[in-house]
Every structure is written in structure tokens, then in C-alpha cells.
Amino acid sequence: MEASRRGLLIILSSPSGAGKSTLARRLRAWDESIVFSVSATTRAPRPGEVDGTDYRFTSETEFKRLVAEGEMLEHAHVFGNFYGSPRGPVAEAIEAGHDVLFDIDWQGAQQIRNSSLGMHTLSIFLLPPSIAELKRRLEGRGQDGPEVIAKRMQKSWDEISHWDGYDFVLVNQDLDETEARLKSIVTATRLRRSQQPGLTDHVRHLQSEFEEGQP
């Protein structure tokens, strides 16, 4: 049976440290039916990251096999490592009417937008209030060494320069305010006509009721 609502592919991108993971966590706590797309990556786990929950940590050989076999919806090389979104869980969730949340870079966002699922995407870009604050957040997170932080800062402009390809842009200054705005965007986009396949039937019923004689 067709789900009454078609799932959205919610894409969050930003330069590293602007707040994607934090906001993704809050969005999922708000609505537990949102499925997080667990990316595969060749990067090493950070302290506290759980394989299969935060990322699927893979070798480069395994990653390349997944790509070659067409199992990645999108993939990219970011900060010297490979990252990609496995296709299977996404298709399943969307068909069942669940939204899928992606924490991916601009290259991945572009590939998904250009895929057959493009019309069901909602893309949101997060900007930091300033570059100085971005650096403070990366340092404050306390998970990367100075070299990794320097590399991410260097690449931040490359990511920011793609801000204008997204449906919505939020400056993540106050976390609670950004969270509220993000939820509003998701709530509104779920009501897009293309996300409500059940509407046709509903309108058909309204029509027959109408034709049977107005009250």
C-alpha cells in the first residue's frame, strides 16, 4: 500500500564545525521516525563514535567495492577520506514514508539533487556567524588535533562557497533558534504537494461528495 506521505531526503551541509551533527541530533530527538543515513567512511573513528551508528567505518578497498557495485547513492572525497551514503536503507525508508536525514558535504548534496530522488530532497545549509567562531567551535569540540583543525579551517571556504545551491540557509548563531527554524522548515516541506501522494484520493472523495449533492 502507498504510504500517505512520501519521505523527504533532508540534507544538512555546512563547513565542519558549524553545527550539523548537533542539529541533526536535535532533529532526530524531536521526531524519532526520521531515519539517519549512516554514511560509510574510510576515516578513523573519533573517540566515542560507534560503528554502524555514527558511521560505517570501512577500508578503502571495501569502500571502492561498494561504489563499483552501485551501492552508493552518492560519494565524495572529503579532507583526504572517502565518504558515501549507502543507497539501500534510503530507498526503503522513503517508500515507507519516513524522512531520511543526511549529514553530507556539498558534493553529495549535488549528486542527490541530480538523482532520481531529487524532487524529494530538502537541502539546508548552515553558515557560522563568523570564521573566528567556526574555529572556536572546532577547537571547543575537542575531538580533532591542531593539524586536523587547520585542514578543516582551510577547506571551510570551499564548502561555504556552495551555500547558494541549497533550498534554505540558516546562520547558526543561537542554537535553540536555529533548531526551531529547522523544525519549521521540515514541517512546512512535509506539506509540499509532491510529498503527499494521498491527496489525489482525498480530493477524489471530496469531488464525489460534492457531486452527490451539496449539503
Which of ligand 5GP, ligand ADP, none does residue 83 bind to, with CB < 5 to 8 Å depending on kind? ligand 5GP
Cα gap 87→70, rounded to integer Å: 8
d(CA 70, CA 88) in angstroms, rounded, equals 10
Q: Among 38-46, 104-112, 167-175, 192-200, which window interacts with ligand ADP (CB under 6 A)? A: 167-175
Residue spans of alpha helices (H) in 49-164:
60-68, 87-95, 106-113, 131-141, 146-160
> Would you count residue 120 as binding ligand ADP (CB under 6 A)?
no
- Tell me how far, at minimum, the Cβ of 193 lies from ligand 5GP, in Å: 29
Q: Which one of ligand ADP, ligand 5GP, none interacts with residue 118, CB within 5 to 8 A by kind?
A: none
Does the footprint of ligand ADP cover residue 137 (CB under 6 A)? yes
* Residue 175 makes contact with ligand ADP by CB under 6 A: yes
181 SS3 class: helix
Of the two residues 55 and 66, which places its CB atom closer to ligand ADP in the complex?
55
Residue carrying C-alpha cell 551541509 = 13
CA–CA gap between residue 11 and residue 159 (Å, rounded): 14
Residues that bind ligand 5GP (CB under 6 A): 16, 20, 39, 43, 74, 76, 78-79, 83-85, 103-105, 107-108
Contacts of 162 (CB under 8 A, 6+ apart): 13, 106, 109, 110, 125
DSSP H helices, the chain, are 20-30, 60-68, 87-95, 106-113, 131-141, 146-160, 175-189, 199-211
Q: Which of 43, 56, 141, 181 lies at the binding interface for ligand ADP (CB under 6 A)?
A: 141
Q: Between residues 78 and 186, which has the closer beta carbon with respect to ligand 5GP?
A: 78
Residues at the site binding ligand ADP, with contacts judged by CB under 6 A = 14, 16-22, 137, 140-141, 172, 174-175, 178
